[in-house]
Chain A
Amino acid sequence: MTAATTARGWPGWVPRAVVGATGLAVAAVLAHAGTAPLALGLYLVLTGVGAAIPASAAPALLIGYPAVAVLFADDAGAGHVLALVVLLHLLHVSSAYAAVLPVRSRVHPKALVAPLRRFALVQLVVLVASGAVLLLPQGRTDERVEVIGLTAVAGLVVGVVLLMRRRS
């Protein structure tokens, strides 16, 4: 039997603070990549809204906005992209948990072990894929390879759907 576990834990605003801090870190990455100040200001406002109301569309904008902004940034490099890969994923996960918790709640660290383990696993997979991408030769990709890649993405989605159907 578990002992009285309800007396400890972190305050409920911690997940929202993580959303806010991650948003600020993303803004810092964008600023370093040369994003326009106006766009950065808008992103900071979005960060505040996302931290205050995580159960809204604000986190989606917080994730989609940098992805588009990095395309038009002047000095965006591989380091910026890799940082955004980690930060935006963290933003997605922390927003998901913050959305189901009231501010005046208690977060027990044991509850976050499995999500953190999964976060690390996903990041490992993606970073390995990123390394593979960096090792690939630069230049125009052959059309056939592109078609194969897109087919692979579509196959991945279809495979997941079939997997879900089979297991249900």
Chain B
Amino acid sequence: MTRADRLREAFRAGRGAHWHATDALVRGVALGVGLVVVGSLVHRVELVLIGAPLLVSTLFALVKPVGGTPSVTVVGLPRTGEVGEARSVVEVDPGEGAEVIAIRLPAGTPGPGPVHLLPARVGPITVALRRDAWGEGVDLRPDHLVAGPDALLVHGPVTAGERGRVVLPPVAALPAGLLPARPVGLVGAHRARRPGDSVELRDIRAFQPGDRMRRIDWRVSLRSGNLHVREHHAEADADVVLALDTRVDVGPEVADWSTSESASGVRPGGSLDQAVRTAVSLAANYLRQGDRVSLVDLGRPQLGVRPGVGRRHLLRLRNQLVVCARSAGWSPRPVLTHHQLPHGALLIVLSPFLDQHTADLTVHAARSGHPVLALDLLPSPLVPDPGTPWSRPALRILELEHDTRLTALRRQGIPVVAASPPLGHRELAVQARRVVRSGRRTGAFR
């Protein structure tokens, strides 16, 4: 294709991912040639002088050929990351004869950022990405437009593909003593009901065939006249079920409860945000002790995670919590089946307890013999809607209903911890330890 063909195509074709003329080229040619010719015809040198720079600069710009297909490549951008700052590199191939590039890149703020006018031969661009909040989002969308000299011919604008990312919920260190420390060299962290090989004494009983000789308690045997053996507890892992109520996401401002906050679907500082952060912290601490942790989405049961252990399982839980938060708010009633709740598992319900269904579900689980801990995530204090005269009395009724539900839970022997921000780490630790002890007494931990 000749240059004339390319220019003809540039004039005819619309905007998009090809080289095409701008208004500036038309203006430069029309005014430059027009003023020079008209000035010459009417013998006015002023017109010639005014038109000359337009004509000359247009000719200068057109002498330099433009062509090729500019491309922008993003390298070194992992899809999953942590809260904080990340870096990526954007490589630009501007094509032939390009002089400047207008490219959309982040500039110290979350999201795709503004358009930057840079030299076309800028080389690899190091981009700092801010990831302030966990959840799904867009890190980069390098829309670009490449321009030749004086922006007379441009390639684009090209809308690039979004480079999405998942920022995992952060893990907050809970205080020591949340659960008993794990004895080194043994399996499990918690004393089980059944006899075993731990060092904790369970019972002293009469010798039976099959008992090991080294278990014989000689002092008691001599005193009683019959052989007696010392029986110890076994140690086992605990099953922890984190039940997340994703059906509601509320913040302190009651007026905002009916509105969606952000594209990620999670209200920053709201009950769901706090629930996810608390769940991740609890899961990390339990998993560190070797316990099995599972996740139940009360709003969408199919989004749960089966029990598991280890660091990879924590990563799986954090990813799944982002998925749960994205799909939040769709179910009218919470669902918790017995398949999701292993026998004897510690159930931690994270909910703002704004409806009776969640409270009923929690009580039902406790009556089934499970140790249950209820984490109340309703923000406190709540701020009534200033635009509605009945907001204050309505809020008072809502608070009374909420208190009644929590009182009913406590009467059922279910510890309730207010985990609204700031998270009460100390109280959470005390209550969790209490639940674990009650679980031992009732034999919930095998």
Contacts and interface: CB of A to CB of B under 8 A. Distances in A.
Interface of A: 1-7, 9, 12, 55-57, 59-60, 63-64, 66-67, 70-71, 76, 81-82, 84-85, 88-89, 92-93, 95-97, 99-102, 104-108, 110-115, 118-119, 121-123, 125-126, 129-130, 133, 141, 146, 149-150, 153, 157, 160-161, 163-165, 167-168
B42 to A, nearest CB: 8
Contacts of B60: 118, 121-122
Given A1-B89, A84-B46, A118-B60, 16 more contacts: A4-B126, A6-B106, A63-B31, A85-B49, A96-B23, A99-B24, A100-B151, A100-B154, A112-B117, A122-B56, A126-B49, A126-B53, A130-B49, A150-B37, A160-B63, A161-B4
B2 to A, nearest CB: 4
Nearest to B104: A105
Interface in B134-175: 145, 147, 149-152, 154
A9 B152 CA distance: 23
B50 A88 contact: yes
B52 interface: yes
B56 A55 contact: no
A126 to B, nearest CB: 5
A67 B114 contact: no
Contacts of A129: 49, 52
Closest 9 CB pairs of A and B: A168-B3, A96-B24, A105-B115, A89-B53, A168-B2, A96-B151, A122-B57, A6-B105, A67-B50
A168 B6 contact: yes
A101 B102 contact: yes
Contacts, number: 211
B113 A6 contact: yes
Interface of B: 1-7, 22-24, 26-28, 30-31, 33, 35-37, 40-41, 43-47, 49-54, 56-57, 59-63, 65, 87, 89, 99-100, 102, 105-108, 113-119, 122-128, 145, 147, 149-152, 154
Contact of B150 (A59, A93, A104): A93
A107 B117 CA distance: 5
Nearest to B116: A106
B107 A55 contact: no
A114 B119 contact: yes
A78 B414 CA distance: 94
B35 to A, nearest CB: 6
Nearest to B34: A64
B115 A118 contact: no
B65 A168 contact: yes
A4 B54 CA distance: 36
